[in-house]
């Protein structure tokens, strides 16, 4: 309920900003000529912290390798987020030569995916023979995008055919999140005695998948500088640099978790025994940042959707996930004058 009220308050605040800007525009329009422009911009957004918890999950997943006896069975292929494409479109009103205001739509998308594995081979020979083989492989993929309704106030410095400017304003960001996780786990324990002869085998195979989607919205801020050159009476080309600050930390979504396992055991008395199991679980609620406690005592960091702070398969510390779009953008601009 509190979060819903907060969203309402933010929407009202943004609406009041638009009304006040429109009112100011009307006042300026009474004394100065008003012109309409359409500005399109596209380029790269550099993300210094990798999207917040997305980067923490990536780096935290390397912890699995510490549980392996031999490095030659470890692999880790997961590149961090450094830059992503970015674009925006604005309707810009100018009041004389020095001032303006715009309403625009912007989009930013982050994606990161990793494949990694661990395992070991162990052999011991004394009064009995013991061999252990373990092989585990994982994949995690995250996709996060945001659409933003942005309001900016401009200040211009005419320089002949060039036009320098600064701008700043609030943005209301709508975020979408998806997560796909899968793992395949295998362990074989083979123990043999000699006097008297006996044999014991434990062969375990498991597979697990998680699929999740979530949404969030939050108020952010953007501001920057630019320089444009009028190539035609109705067209300008330019370059723009801006800083964007927005953090999404109240995600709500749904989750589907499924898996299966096959456990085979053998001993000289009973022979082979096989136990198979499968499950599917669904849930909804906030998006949490936590450790995922997998079979075979393996633990990795992940993001998880659930009604309550995860327990059981999960362990503390647990908190709500924070995914941000903090970035520095460098954009090429195309502006049409009407």
On whether the CB atoms of residues 211 and 254 are closer than 8 A, the answer is: no
Question: Average of pLDDT values for 137-145?
Answer: 91
Q: Is the pLDDT of residue 93 over 80?
A: yes
| Model confidence pLDDT, tens digit, residues 33-48 | 899 999 999 999 999 8
- Phi, then psi, of 269 in degrees rounded to 5: -85, -45
On whether the CB atoms of residues 288 and 252 are closer than 8 A, the answer is: no
pLDDT of residue 198: 87
Residue 300 binned pLDDT confidence (cut-offs 50, 70, 90): confident
- Phi, then psi, of 60 in degrees rounded to 5: -70, -25
Domain total in the chain: 1
Domain of residue 27 covers: 2-337
Residue 72 binned pLDDT confidence (cut-offs 50, 70, 90): low
Residue 125 binned pLDDT confidence (cut-offs 50, 70, 90): confident
């Amino acid at each position: 309920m509190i979060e819903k009220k907060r969203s309402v308050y933010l929407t009202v605040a943004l609406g009041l900003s638009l009304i006040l800007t429109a009112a100011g525009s009307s006042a300026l329009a009474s004394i100065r000529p008003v012109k309409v422009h359409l500005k399109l911009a596209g380029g790269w957004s550099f993300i210094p912290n990798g999207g917040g918890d997305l980067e923490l999950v990536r780096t935290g997943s390397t912890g699995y390798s510490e549980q392996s006896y031999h490095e030659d069975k470890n692999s880790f292929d997961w590149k961090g987020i450094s830059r992503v494409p970015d674009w925006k479109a604005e309707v810009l009103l100018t009041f004389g030569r020095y001032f303006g205001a715009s309403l625009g739509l912007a989009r930013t998308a982050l994606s990161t995916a990793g494949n990694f594995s661990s395992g070991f081979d162990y052999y011991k020979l004394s009064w009995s023979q013991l061999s252990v083989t373990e092989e585990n492989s994982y994949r995690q993929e995250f996709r996060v995008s945001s659409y933003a309704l942005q309001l900016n106030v401009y200040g211009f410095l005419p320089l002949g055919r060039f036009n320098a400017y600064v701008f700043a304003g609030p943005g209301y960001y709508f975020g979408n999140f998806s997560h796909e996780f899968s793992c395949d786990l295998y362990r074989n324990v083979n123990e043999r005695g000699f006097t008297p002869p006996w044999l014991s085998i434990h062969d375990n195979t498991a597979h697990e998948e998680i699929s999740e989607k979530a949404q969030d919205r939050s108020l952010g801020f953007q501001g920057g500088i630019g320089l444009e050159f009028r190539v035609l009476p109705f067209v300008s080309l330019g370059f723009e640099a801006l800083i964007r600050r927005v953090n999404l930390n109240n995600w709500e979504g749904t989750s589907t978790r499924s898996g299966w396992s096959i456990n085979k055991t053998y001993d000289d008395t009973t022979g082979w025994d096989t136990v198979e199991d499968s499950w599917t679980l669904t849930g909804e609620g906030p998006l949490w940042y936590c450790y995922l406690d997998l079979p075979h005592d393996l633990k990795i960091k992940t993001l998880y959707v659930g009604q309550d702070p995860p327990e059981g398969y999960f362990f503390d510390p647990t908190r709500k996930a924070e995914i941000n779009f903090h970035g520095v953008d460098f954009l090429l601009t195309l502006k049409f004058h009407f």
